Amino acid sequence: MMNLMNILAEAGEAVAVTAAESTAATATTGTGAQAAAPMGGDLMMTIVMMVAMVAIFYFLLIRPQRKKDKQVKNMLAALKVGDRICTIGGLYGTIAALKDDTVTLTMGSLQNTIVIARWAIRSVENVALENDTEPQI
């Protein structure tokens, strides 16, 4: 245990001596002024990196999301009676009536009707659905 304490003490003295020597060398050679110059360059590099990071986030995350939101808004504005749609809950149906914020759907072979919010429409489908056929008795 005593040897470990002696080794740590010697290592601490060596580090202190090395730090004191480097400080003295800096003071005598005048490199202290030169060491401060890269600090401004580091600040400029940091600012450039931050601007680059914001630009990357904009082009990879924000811009595509805005584009997708615009497409969804246009799709919801272009809805008309007779369109076949899919809701965000997975229900498929045909639009029977449109109001400002609500849509009336007819679904299935029995032509059941439900009223949903316009924002709950995921997509307009182009394919005929099997559930919308005539009931087979």
Q: Which SS3 state, helix, strand or coil, does residue 99 take?
A: coil
Asked whether residue 89 falls in the same domain as residue 120, the answer is yes
Asked whether residue 117 falls in the same domain as residue 74, the answer is no
pTM comes to 0.56
* CATH number of the domain within which 84 lies: 2.30.30
Q: Mind listing the pLDDT tens digit for each residue in 15-52?
A: 554 555 555 555 555 554 454 455 678 999 999 999 99
Q: Mind listing the pLDDT tens digit for each residue in 58-94?
A: 999 999 999 999 999 999 999 999 999 999 999 999 9
Decide the pairing of beta strands 102-107 and 112-117: antiparallel
Q: How many domains does the chain have?
A: 2
In 3D space, the residue among 136, 135, 122, 134 whose CA is nearest the CA of residue 84 turns out to be 122
Please measure the distance between the N-terminal and C-terminal CA atoms of the chain and give it in whole angstroms.
94
Domain that holds residue 41: 34-78
Neighbours of 23 (CB within 10 A): 11
Asked whether residue 122 falls in the same domain as residue 88, the answer is yes
Asked whether residue 108 falls in the same domain as residue 126, the answer is yes
In a domain, 11, yes or no: no
Neighbours of 103 (CB within 10 A): 24
Asked whether residue 91 falls in the same domain as residue 72, the answer is no
Strands, E assignment, the chain? 84-87, 92-98, 102-107, 112-117, 121-125
In a domain, 46, yes or no: yes
